[in-house]
Amino acid sequence: MLDRRAVLGAAAAGVLAPPAWAQKPGTTARMRTINAMMTDEPAHLNYPLFNTRIMQEICGNINESLLLFDWQFKPKPNLARGYEMAPDGMRYTIHLRPDVVWHDGAPFTARDVAFSCGVMLPQLNPRSRGAFSHLREIKVVDRYTLHFEMNEPFNAFILSLMASSAPMMPAHIYEGTNFRTNPYNFKPVGTGPFKFNRWSRGQYIHLTRNERYWRPGQPGMDGIYYRLCPTPEQRLVAMESGAVDLAMADDIDTVVNSRMVANPDIVARSDAFNGTGEIAVMEMNHRRWPFSDRRFRAAYMHAINREFLVKAINFGLGKVAHSPIPSDLPYYDDKVLTKYHYDPARARALLDEMGLKPGKGGVRHRFSIMMIPDGGGYWTRAAHYIKQAMSEVGLDVALESTDWPTFSRRSGNWEFDVDCNSYGQYGDPAIGTARFFLSSNIRKGVPQTNIQGYNNPEVDALFAKAAVAVDHAEAQRHYSRLQQILTHDVAMLWMYERKPMFFYNKRLKNVIMGPNGPADGFGSVTLA
């Protein structure tokens, strides 16, 4: 029987005590847990089916890939303890570790690899489909050895076995089932340092340590909580109060970057997503005039002050992009690029040349830009800035607000003039870049493909040749020519290279171990 006065007294004490969030986690159990956040709940946890950043962060702990990559993009053993490539590049022999078990106890064998690479990944994931399209067949030699027989040598093949592009999935759970409706999409099974424990809808996803993890000494922590934190302000407070240990990429609005960087308890890393090599872009629907005219696209680029976009709108995070390939990745060739510096006069001249003269009210042409639904964050700000910049050269832009389902539908079905987007390189142009310029990847109804409708046979041929080039020098030649053509054609409107920040609480260490950052999982994380 509760004494009323006691209850009220306790409640009052609770109210008057210092705000709870100012207290750091106390007990040992809580200290040995990584507290992370998710901006919204993923629809499911089937990694290949939907490869967003939050999936990468969560599932990166559960499902592993055959190889890992170091800061120079050289492969390191993971589930594959080694591999050999035949001199002609037509066969890869993969040797698997013999001591790996799935979270449910079943052994990890070559059958799982053959199933994942041969069946599940190509079926569910467009990026994998592109990468594995060069595979002729997968031969299981013995329990822990496979031959990957190629149709032609594909020099980015090893890179395509990177974490987010090729996570290994359990054959004994998925083979023969409907991948989209398999109940294990909500309780995933993998080989990684953490295994799925609980999904409390609307609140959190909890992973616990995999006691039978094959890497000695890992994982360093006992579990990970991914707590739902829908707004950027909430996430800011969570980081500052210590309730949460990690904030990545777009979690914290760039506006308050200075606050985060100045915080003595927080470590800020800007290199955690180098492996993704993301570029913020705008795409034009080449099926509609005047977007089909190269001069219009060039004028568009000249009208935008991308230095200002990075410095002021994005508070200094990022670097102006001049090429479809990010500047710190292999194959970037600065010498061949056509660069479009901020030059509104030149923009106006090009538009005049096209016949788009200023009409009533000084307006030459009206079109719309479909914005990324980010609830008023920096994508929205960038779009507003661009609208402003366009009005300076006589182009009247109507901004369209959408939500994710509408955005996906309209971009996939080519129902837009111009849209905003951002694409990752994932280590090799054959994986990340080609998909937007190959005429073979023009597929109606599928977003994240060549939705612009860009069609250039020379580009198609060059991408094909570069993918199967025998050595790096030959590939470089092709990629250089590609960059030359694509930048001259203004095949896409590259805005800036994204350098998203990764923040973590200094009570942890070994958080970022490679260019894939959190996508490689948090097995190595320990207390500082």
Question: Using omega within 30 degrees of 0 as the cis cutoff, is the peptide bond preceding 219 cis?
Answer: yes
- Listed in sequence order, the residues at least 6 apart from 490 whose beta carbon sits closer than 8 Å to its beta carbon are 294, 297, 298, 300, 301, 340
**Measured distance CA(304)–CA(309) in Å, rounded:** 8
Residue type present at position 1: M
CA dihedral sign of residues 249, 251, 256, 258:
negative
Q: Are 480 and 332 in contact (CB under 8 A)?
A: no
Name which of 1 and 473 has its Cβ closer to another protein.
Answer: 1
Cβ at position 273, least distance to another protein in Å: 19
Cβ at position 378, least distance to another protein in Å: 9
Name which of 263 and 338 has its Cβ closer to another protein.
Answer: 263
Cβ at position 10, least distance to another protein in Å: 4
Cβ at position 7, least distance to another protein in Å: 7
Residue appearing with tokens 């142009």: 429
Name which of 363 and 398 has its Cβ closer to another protein.
Answer: 398
CA nearest to 46, candidates 163, 190, 162: 190
**Measured distance CA(383)–CA(369) in Å, rounded:** 8
Name which of 424 and 514 has its Cβ closer to another protein.
Answer: 424
Q: What angle separates helix 378-392 from helix 294-303, to the nearest 10 degrees?
A: 110
Q: Are 527 and 509 in contact (CB under 8 A)?
A: yes
Name which of 173 and 446 has its Cβ closer to another protein.
Answer: 446
**Measured distance CA(337)–CA(481) in Å, rounded:** 9
Name which of 4 and 335 has its Cβ closer to another protein.
Answer: 4
Name which of 91 and 384 has its Cβ closer to another protein.
Answer: 384
Cβ at position 227, least distance to another protein in Å: 6
Cβ at position 248, least distance to another protein in Å: 16
Name which of 479 and 503 has its Cβ closer to another protein.
Answer: 503
Cβ at position 34, least distance to another protein in Å: 11
CA nearest to 108, candidates 176, 24, 167: 167
Cβ at position 423, least distance to another protein in Å: 13
**Measured distance CA(232)–CA(234) in Å, rounded:** 5
